[in-house]
A = this chain, B = another copy of it.
Amino acid sequence: MNTNRDNPNQEFPESQVPQAVISRLSLYLRELQRLVREGQETTSSTQLGSLFGFTDARVRKDLAYFGQFGYPGIGYRVEELITAIKGILGTDQSWEVIIVGIGNLGRALLGYKGFENQGFRIVGAFDSDPAKTDTQIDGVPVYAIEHLADFVTSRKIRLAIIAVPAMAAQKVVDQLVEAGIDGVVNFAPVTISLPKSIQLIGVDLAIELEQLSFAVVNQRENP
């Protein structure tokens, strides 16, 4: 065994990996980082799974998509597994990220410490309101929206966060795509269309509350 630990296979069979697996990897990573802070050196699929109500088999299967990271009889070395998962998620490197739209939400995201810790550095912000531009917020320079495309192209920015009003979102995304962006997290409550090769994650805060409403009204048993 250990072929992947010793000689990591970079050609992940990504088309076969379910999206749900990737979400769970992020959850594992978050808990592993907590465990390492608490000084724990090894963990097991049973321990990791029980934190989320997953079976041990599911944890092992999730990791098995990407290689062999554990030691039979021992479990997983926490530090090692953190490194492995970061490698899988692509957060072993640091990403330069921009934010478009400096309203309430954009400003909050600018100041959010959680990004930096996970390998995402906000290097620029953009807004159409001249009153907000050519300043710095939380140490991040705020530019006029007119400079968006240039910035993305010249700085080779790959990831962007959209926090503009719903009406403006599609146009902003179109500009980003034109400028060569690779992925977008969209907080505007609107469905965005874009080329298949550009990655999109949508986060709709009202929808999260709707999901909660349904769960409460229907008294779901949660795991």
Q: What number of A residues sit within 8 Å (CB to CB) of B?
A: 71
Contacts of A108 in B (CB 8 A): 104-105, 107-109
Q: A112 and B105 in contact (CB under 8 A), knowing A91-B213, A216-B158?
A: yes
Q: Which of A15, A52, A108, A197 has the most CB of B within 10 A?
A: A108
* B109 adjacent to A205 (CB under 8 Å): yes
* A189 adjacent to B30 (CB under 8 Å): yes
Tell me if A154 counts as interface (CB < 8 A to partner B).
no
Tell me if A34 counts as interface (CB < 8 A to partner B).
yes
Complex Cα distance A13/B129, Å?
49
Tell me if A3 counts as interface (CB < 8 A to partner B).
no
Tell me if A6 counts as interface (CB < 8 A to partner B).
no
Q: Which residue of B lies closest to A218 (CB)?
A: B14
Contacts of A182 in B (CB 8 A): 216
Q: A115 and B206 in contact (CB under 8 A), knowing A213-B91, A217-B90?
A: yes
* A118 adjacent to B27 (CB under 8 Å): no
Considering only residues 65-96 of chain A, those with a C-beta below 8 Å from chain B are 88-91, 95
Mask for A176-200, Cβ within 8 A of B = 1, else 0? 0000001111000111000011111
Instruction: State the Cβ distance, A119 to closest chain B Cβ, in Å.
Output: 8
Q: List 16 A-B contacts (CB under 8 A).
A: A15-B221, A29-B210, A31-B191, A89-B214, A91-B213, A104-B107, A104-B112, A108-B109, A118-B206, A184-B212, A196-B222, A196-B223, A197-B219, A199-B215, A201-B215, A203-B205
Known contacts A104-B111, A199-B222; can you find 13 more A-B pairs with CB under 8 A? Answer: A12-B218, A15-B220, A30-B190, A31-B191, A34-B190, A91-B210, A104-B108, A107-B108, A159-B209, A159-B212, A161-B209, A198-B222, A199-B212
